[in-house]
Amino acid sequence: MNKLQDLEIVKQTYSGKVRDIYDLGDKLLIVTSDRISAFDCVFPNTIPNKGKILNQISVFFFKATKDIIPNHFITDNVDEYPEEFKEFEDELKDRSMLVKKSRVIPYESIVRGYITGSAWKEYQRSKTVGGIIQDSNLEESQKFPQPLFTPSTKAESGHDENISFEEMKKRMDSYLADEIKKVSLALYNFAHDYLFSKDIILADTKFEFGTYEGKLILIDEVLTPDSSRFWDKNEYHLGTTLKSYDKQYIRDFISNSDWDKNPPAPELPQDIIEKTYKKYYNAYKIICGENTKSW
């Protein structure tokens, strides 16, 4: 059987740490694998059905936020894909989507609603977050009075660079930067309120944007456990480091191992794989509700 990248319709293939992107000319086919990465390293194990979970959450939120901003999503129904892909239905079902091909804006639009992670570390050093001066009495995991927009560059290789919004405006069209910030905050506020009603706290997340036919659109993945920090609302305690619905078990495994965080990544124990899958699936089940599928 031919491989996807060997089909005549495919102009070029891009393989990332988790996703494979097939260039179809004016469209892209995005396939989300079960691979898992941390510290820019892909682990030799996979998390069964993780790709389906991430893809289905993105599909859910692309549909839910289309009135806030248009997005690149066309369909995730394999029956609506070009005829050439029909023989790959089993491989593509639930873990892929056909999207509009856009001009990618090379910035990650990070919105932080609570102080945690790298933001907490920066605050401890300088009482700032994303270069923005904060109240001097914040506690870890505390909610900001208003969500903060803290962009970063999107590096093709190496690590992204955190920059201020003012620096972002200097590097690109100022009007477009203002629009990206406005839309990012609107998306965060919508998602935070929706998830809060489901007993999930959206601590922070990142969005990516592109332009299509001269207009700003939302692209990539959206509001998944890989692009967001989800907390269980019932376990929320101010002044503590909270565990999230994503790679927490893998992070714990790494912190207790001898791995120096340089490739190659070590094998993951089976119990870590199973616990990580349950974290992802539980987030998916809560978010998508009656639309949840079983694998």
pLDDT at 291: 80
pLDDT at 251: 85
pLDDT at 31: 98
User: Is the Cβ–Cβ distance between 274 and 46 less than 8 Å?
Assistant: no
Residue 158, token pair as written in the block: 């190496």
Residue ranges in 232-269 assigned as alpha helix (H): 248-255
pLDDT at 246: 87
pLDDT at 161: 87
CA angle 160, 242, 36 (to 5 degrees): 50
Instruction: Please identify every stretch of the chain with a pLDDT value under 50, giving residue numbers as ranges.
Output: 1
pLDDT at 156: 64
Chain centre to alpha carbon of residue 258 = 28
User: Is the Cβ–Cβ distance between 236 and 202 less than 8 Å?
Assistant: no
Alpha-carbon distance 105 to 185, whole Å?
17
CB neighbour class for 220 (10 Å; exposed up to 12, middle 13-18, buried from 19): buried
| Alpha-carbon torsion, ordered 268, 29, 188, 281, to 10 deg | -40
Could you give all domains of the chain from N- to C-terminal order, each with its CATH number? 4-101 (3.30.200.20), 104-251 (3.30.470.20)
User: Is the Cβ–Cβ distance between 194 and 57 less than 8 Å?
Assistant: no
**Rg of the chain (C-alpha set):** 19
- Tens-place pLDDT, residues 35-82: 999 888 999 999 999 999 999 999 999 999 999 999 999 999 999 999
